[in-house]
Amino acid sequence: MSERIVITGGGAIGCSIAYFLSLQKTPGREIWVIEKDPTYRIASSSLSASSIRQQFSTPICIQLSQFGYDFFSSCEREKAQYGAGVDLVDCGYLFVGNAQQESVLRRRSSLARSLGVELQEHSAEVLQQRYPWMNVSDLTYAVEGIAGEGWFDGYSVMQWFRNRAREAGVHFATGEAAGYRTRGNRITHVELTNGREISGARS
């Protein structure tokens, strides 16, 4: 029995899962992605603000963002090869805090630096010079990312993963999952609203 993987939802997350699974080149594996709206008119991948930062409070979130930023950067470098990138724009996040928030922000900055995040701290005076429109009277701490942060086009990211997955042989089906058939603790079939079933295994 060969393996079939069925992914419900073909937005950026579903398509990226399909893409990375396809890189494993597992013999006999077949990958399917089910998406109810191939136009993606109201999908979060199309409507998201689509930003990325490295200033987080846990190592795993920071490391995930570092991987994501490096990956998006590689997509931009491959524009000539694929004809499209993800429109990544470098622009650091600025976080500010008052006396009650300062200790938490400083601990977060210390953690981020320990994992290689490039940050620049600003005094209230420097902040006022850089951003004259900002009221800094109650601010005691400010930190700005100087690399590895910015925003991108969510729809382009989704299409990048979708196109690369198609090239790798991933199957895409239009439909909406209505239910699942199980055997023990495993899902064996995905039932679609149009009456079609997609099995999680194939002969």
**Residue 202, pLDDT score:** 56
Are 44 and 70 spatial neighbours (Cβ–Cβ below 8 Å)? no
CA dihedral over 147, 153, 155, 159, signed as positive or negative: negative
Question: Which residues does the chain have with pLDDT short of 50?
Answer: 203
Q: Using DSSP, state whether 26 is helix, strand or coil.
A: coil
* Residue 178 near residue 192 (C-beta atoms within 8 A): yes
- Which CATH code, of 3.40.50.720, 3.40.50.300, 3.90.190.20, 3.50.50.60, is assigned to 1-49+153-203? 3.50.50.60
Tell me what pLDDT residue 52 has: 95
Domain positions in the chain? 1-49+153-203, 51-150
What global pTM score does this model have? 0.81
- Contact at 8 Å (CB) between 108 and 57? yes
SS (H, E, C) 86-99: CCCEECCCEEEECC
Q: pLDDT at position 201, please?
A: 62
